[in-house]
């Protein structure tokens, strides 16, 4: 039975990846942080929290000793480093914590592998945020990087260190440059889930209005469950490499808002521009969307659209779920959660 460490099992991708690996017969060691209130809602939602092959391990990426002991005790075949301080907005307020967790954390694991057994395969959760300021459209593996946030900079360090350890120590280190991927398990601080949860609340009369920042930002959004399959495929390939996973379609935040309201049968009329932009529900004339500048970022990534051809050709990976299907799935899940009186 193969053994895999999945860091960050309490997050969206960690939960989906653990589910995928358990279904493939792996023994999975999912890591979580010691916190005052531990939050396993995602693995509970997937029904895997009591799976006999799932082991929950307390672990913090910022601790080198912890990393070496964990890898040494478990002796896994594969390590998927999914954990991170992953919220771009927060990284502007906590640049050094983001550097320690999201950047240096990866090297703690790479060092542990180097010390214990360099045959352990390593997956690094890299990101389209590394592309940042547009250099090329669509973005692919060879596109120059220009990160626009402390998060993007920290991820770029971890990305290059993965490549450096691959080339220096013959470690099977893969870097997946993943574009935004969403699901009903997405955290509510991220824009898609904030939108679908608020649309559900407005629909149920629990909230009046959705407040957002920059609605002109364009993102390439896919379905998280399909993206974790791409991570797995990278570690099963003949040689370690870097791959982009994306849908090759880009839409604005505004488009996603329109789509989410449409999923509950509401048409919007958009008015104004910039901070004065609003959207009105045409069925009753109420303002349901407005701009709150507090959600603007000091520097923005305006346009992301990825070219996943390499992953398709070499790994047989392809996204299947359309953005409309994904948005509807998320709105429906949030309607059920809000109806049942809880919403994570």
Q: Does 12 bind ligand NDP (CB under 6 A)?
A: yes
Residues 167-206 that bind ligand GDR (CB under 6 A): 179-180, 189-191, 194
Structural Rg of the chain based on CA atoms: 20
**279 pairs with which residues across the strands?**
270, 289
Q: Distances in Å between the alpha carbon of 73 and those of 31, 116, 123, 204, 331? A: 14, 10, 19, 49, 42
Residue 182 or 203 with smaller CB distance to ligand NDP: 182
Q: Choose the stretch contacting ligand NDP; rule: CB under 6 A; options: 60-68, 282-290, 298-306, 331-339.
A: 60-68
Q: Choose the stretch contacting ligand GDR; rule: CB under 6 A; options: 90-98, 156-164, 261-269, 294-302.
A: 294-302
Whether 129 is a known active-site residue: answer: yes
Residue 131 or 202 with smaller CB distance to ligand NDP: 131
Whether 243 is a known active-site residue: answer: no
| Alpha-carbon dihedral 313, 315, 320, 321, rounded to 10 degrees | -130
Given 78, 129, 182, 203, the catalytic residue: 129
| CA–CA separation, 159 and 130 (whole Å) | 9
Q: Does 27 bind ligand NDP (CB under 6 A)?
A: no
Q: Does 187 bind ligand NDP (CB under 6 A)?
A: yes
State CA 286 to chain mean position distance.
Answer: 33
Q: Does 69 bind ligand GDR (CB under 6 A)?
A: no
Q: How far is the CB of 338 from ligand GDR (least distance, A)?
A: 19
Burial per residue of 119-154, b for 16 or more beta-carbon CB atoms within 10 angstroms, e otherwise: ebbbbbbbbbbbbbeeeeebbbbebebebbbbbbbb
Q: Which of 7, 10, 86, 242 forms a contact with ligand GDR (CB under 6 A)?
A: 86
Given 16, 26, 59, 151, the catalytic residue: 151
Q: Choose the stretch contacting ligand NDP; rule: CB under 6 A; options: 2-10, 112-120, 307-315, 319-327.
A: 2-10
| CA–CA separation, 48 and 45 (whole Å) | 8
Q: Is 256 helix (H, G, I), strand (E, B) or coil?
A: helix
| CA–CA separation, 222 and 234 (whole Å) | 18
Q: Choose the stretch contacting ligand NDP; rule: CB under 6 A; options: 58-66, 160-168, 273-281, 285-293.
A: 58-66
Q: Does 143 bind ligand GDR (CB under 6 A)?
A: no
122 is in an annotated binding site: yes
Give the single-character DSSP code of 173: E
| CA–CA separation, 106 and 110 (whole Å) | 6
Residue 51 or 290 with smaller CB distance to ligand NDP: 51
Residues making up the annotated binding site for NADP(+) are 122
Residues with catalytic function:
127, 129, 151
Binding site residues, ligand GDR, CB under 6 A: 86, 88-89, 127-129, 179-180, 189-191, 194, 212-214, 217, 219, 253, 295, 297, 300
């Amino acid at each position: 039975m193969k053994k895999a460490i999945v860091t960050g099992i309490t997050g969206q991708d960690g939960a989906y990846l653990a589910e995928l690996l358990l279904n493939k017969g792996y023994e999975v060691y999912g890591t979580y942080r010691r916190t005052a209130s531990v939050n396993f809602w995602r693995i509970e939602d997937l029904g895997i929290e009591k799976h006999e092959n799932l082991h929950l391990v307390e672990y913090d990426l910022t601790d080198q000793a912890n990393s070496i002991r964990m890898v040494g005790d478990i002796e896994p075949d594969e390590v998927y480093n999914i954990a991170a301080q992953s919220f771009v907005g927060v990284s502007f307020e906590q640049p050094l914590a983001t550097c320690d967790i999201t950047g240096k954390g990866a090297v703690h694991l790479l060092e542990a592998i180097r010390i214990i057994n360099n045959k352990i395969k390593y997956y690094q959760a890299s990101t389209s945020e590394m592309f940042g300021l547009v250099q090329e459209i669509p973005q692919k593996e060879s596109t120059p990087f220009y990160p626009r946030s402390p998060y993007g900079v920290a991820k770029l360090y971890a990305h290059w260190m993965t490549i450096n350890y691959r080339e220096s120590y013959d470690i099977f280190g893969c870097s997946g440059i993943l574009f935004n991927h969403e699901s009903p398990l997405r955290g509510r601080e991220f824009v898609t889930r904030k939108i679908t949860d608020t649309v559900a609340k407005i629909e149920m009369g629990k909230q009046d209005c959705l407040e957002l920042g920059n609605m002109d930002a364009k993102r390439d959004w896919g379905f998280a469950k399909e993206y974790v399959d791409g991570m797995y495929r990278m570690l099963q390939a003949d040689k370690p490499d870097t791959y982009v996973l994306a849908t090759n379609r880009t839409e604005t935040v505004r488009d996603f808002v329109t789509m989410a309201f449409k999923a509950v049968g509401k048409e919007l009329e958009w008015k104004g521009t910039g901070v004065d932009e609003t959207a009105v529900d045409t069925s009753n004339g109420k303002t349901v969307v407005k701009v709150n500048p507090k959600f603007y970022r000091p520097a923005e990534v305006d346009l992301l659209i990825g070219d996943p051809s390499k992953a398709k050709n070499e790994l047989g990976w392809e996204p299947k779920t359309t953005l409309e299907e994904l948005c509807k799935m998320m709105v429906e899940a949030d309607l059920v959660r809000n109806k049942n009186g809880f919403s994570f």
